[in-house]
Amino acid sequence: MTTPFAHIQTRHEPSTEPNKSKVALVATLSIEANTDQTIDAYLGGLQMYNDLFEWRLDEYPQKALDLIIDCFLPAESVPQSILKNGVSVGLIRSRVFQSGDWISGKQWLQLASTSTPGGEVDPNQSLADGQIFSLRPGKVDFFPVYALDGSNGYRPISRLSDVLSVLSTRMDEWSMAAWFQSENSSLGGIAPKALLLSAPEQVLAAAKKKPRGRRVSR
């Protein structure tokens, strides 16, 4: 299956609603591909993203939506190099956050309250103490579920703070999240998150080998 080439064209048309002179913006999507299977796969993925967007749309206040629109429709032209870098960063962050590893502070508290033995956790305090890290895609903290010890009331894994103290000097939270979920040659091709509980010393050693790299941020 080949990678499709998609092109979007927009045009303004009179509104179809009666008694309204408002102009409607119509977008046309053109897809070029070698097979129907490729086009079907592309459209299927596009529909999934569209459903997700509509589902999440009602959760955001108007100010947040205005900010999203401003990002895609800047008042002044933006250099192509900056746009490409922004798209690359956005794709990486999207893959990281859509991995299914992230829960809100409220969800964390719910896990802790139903665990045996029951655990008392304070997400904000754990974050402040460096026992865990979070991502803030919408100014709300989301925590990695793989960093929690289910056998200990869903408290942060004890040695995680040591790993974070090493990584935090070299990268930001998004880069750390990408590091934890990526295959690591120092760990035999296993992602660090899979060994945090069973082999924390190996994860710490791998973190110390991590070269200083570019942050996954703007």
Query: In the numeric block, which tokens belong to residue 51?
Result: 């459903």
How many domains does the structure of the chain reveal?
Answer: 2
Give domain status of residue 121, yes or no: yes
Cα–Cα dist 123/154, whole Å: 11
Question: CB-based contacts of 10: which residues, under 8 Å, 6+ apart?
Answer: 25, 26, 27, 28
Tens digits of residue pLDDT in 23-76: 667 778 787 777 777 777 777 777 766 666 666 655 566 666 566 555 555 545
Neighbours of 95 (CB within 10 A): 12
Question: Do 118 and 187 lie in a common domain?
Answer: yes
Neighbours of 108 (CB within 10 A): 24
Give domain status of residue 79, yes or no: no
The whole domain housing 16 covers: 5-59
Whether this prediction's pTM lies above 0.75 is answered by no
Nearest to 27 by CA among 82, 86, 72: 72
pLDDT of residue 217: 47
Intervals of the chain under pLDDT 50: 1, 75, 82-83, 87, 213-218
How many helices (H) and strands (E) the chain has is answered by 8, 6
Give domain status of residue 86, yes or no: no
Residue 141 dihedral angles phi and psi, to the nearest 5°: -75, 130
Q: Domain ends where: 42, 59, 76?
A: 59
pLDDT of residue 106: 92
Question: Do 133 and 194 lie in a common domain?
Answer: yes
Give domain status of residue 19, yes or no: yes
pLDDT of residue 63: 63
pLDDT of residue 120: 81
Neighbours of 184 (CB within 10 A): 22
pLDDT of residue 95: 75
